[in-house]
């Protein structure tokens, strides 16, 4: 296969999201060019695009590496997602048509059939399908652009949620409540349930990792530095 810069970018992105490339792992421009049999220019372009996506960081002294999420990163992502995706859920409800509702019913069936305790990765994938469908159905290009940008880093938090005990079991029930509100045409309730879902997921994820005190799951700073997850952000954003 002959790789172009976009091919290199897409494959590296996939490998990062699927965790074949681990948080903190270095990505050397020369090695990337050799791996994909391309010159340094397309390798460099691919790495720069990954930096723009928020999946890779560039340290001028050390080079490119896969982004390691800090607690602050996770909180910032979820605060932004709550604002954007809450509105998207409301708009999707307003624009619901028969085709959208049929697709939503399919997601509901898959959610009800999956066992999150035994199939956490599948549960994460189905949940992601719901979020993507609501963003598409909202019919707002500007918000969808914001959603797509957040989606890249959100993919890294989904990797964390696969390893967080109980997150996907609770998330499934929250997703079903979102669907119920959308099906009933309750815009405000759909937005409220989406916000509660994202807020709860963030809280459970951060609290779990702070408690486990492990550096191997993507956090940089010591968990003991923070006594409460929401001390790191504007608490007003998490209030009803």
Spatial distance between the Cα atoms of 82 and 102, rounded to a whole number of angstroms = 25
Q: Which residues pair with 26 in a beta bridge?
A: 65
Q: How large is the average pLDDT for residues 77-84? A: 95
Whether residue 157 is predicted with pLDDT greater than 50 in this model: the reply is yes
Pull the structure tokens for residue 147: 């959603």
Residue 84 pLDDT? 98
70: closest CA among 235, 196, 227, 209? 209
Who contacts 102 (Cβ-Cβ below 8 Å, separation ≥6)? none
Q: Which residues pair with 64 in a beta bridge?
A: 27, 58
Please write the tens of the pLDDT for every residue from 179-235. Answer: 999 999 999 999 999 999 999 988 887 876 676 545 444 545 444 444 444 444 443
Say if residue 128 is exposed, middle or buried (CB neighbours under 10 Å; 0-12, 13-18, 19+). middle
Q: Where are the domains of the chain?
A: 5-66, 71-238
> What CATH number does domain 5-66 carry, 3.40.50.300, 1.25.40.10, 1.10.645.10, 1.10.10.10?
1.10.10.10
Please write the tens of the pLDDT for every residue from 1-45. Answer: 667 889 999 999 999 988 899 989 999 999 999 999 999 999 999
Fold of the 71-238 domain: 1.20.120
Residue 25 pLDDT? 95
The reply to whether domains 5-66 and 71-238 share a CATH topology is no
pLDDT band of residue 238 (cuts 50, 70, 90) is: very low
Greater pLDDT, 158 or 50? 50
Spatial distance between the Cα atoms of 221 and 73, rounded to a whole number of angstroms = 11
What angle, rounded to 10 degrees, do the helices at 167-183 and 98-113 form? Answer: 150
First to last CA, the chain: 53
Residue 209 pLDDT? 63
CB atoms within 10 A of CB 124: 20
Spatial distance between the Cα atoms of 240 and 237, rounded to a whole number of angstroms = 8
The pLDDT mean for the chain works out to 85
């Amino acid at each position: 296969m002959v790789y172009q810069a976009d091919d290199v970018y897409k494959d590296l992105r996939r490998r990062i999201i699927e965790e074949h490339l681990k948080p903190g792992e270095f990505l050397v421009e020369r090695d990337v060019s050799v791996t994909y049999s391309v010159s340094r220019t397309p390798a460099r372009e691919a790495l720069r695009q990954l930096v723009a996506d928020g999946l890779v960081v560039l340290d001028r002294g050390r080079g490119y590496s896969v982004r390691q999420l800090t607690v602050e990163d996770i909180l910032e992502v979820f605060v932004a997602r709550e604002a954007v995706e809450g509105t998207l859920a409301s708009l999707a409800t307003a624009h619901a048509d028969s085709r959208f509702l049929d697709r939503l019913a399919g997601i509901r069936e898959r959610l009800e059939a999956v066992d999150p305790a035994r199939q956490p990765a599948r549960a994460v994938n189905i949940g992601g399908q719901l979020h993507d469908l609501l963003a598409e159905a909202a019919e707002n290009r500007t918000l969808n652009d914001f959603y797509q940008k957040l989606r890249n880093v959100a993919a890294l938090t989904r990797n964390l949620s696969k390893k967080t005990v109980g997150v996907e079991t609770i998330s499934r029930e929250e997703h079903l409540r979102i669907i119920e509100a959308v099906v009933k045409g309750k815009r405000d309730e759909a937005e409220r349930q989406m916000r509660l879902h994202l807020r709860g997921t963030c809280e459970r994820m951060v609290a779990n990792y702070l408690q486990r005190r492990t550096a191997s799951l993507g956090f940089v700073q010591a968990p003991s530095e923070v006594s409460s997850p929401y001390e790191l952000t504007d608490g007003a954003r998490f209030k009803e």
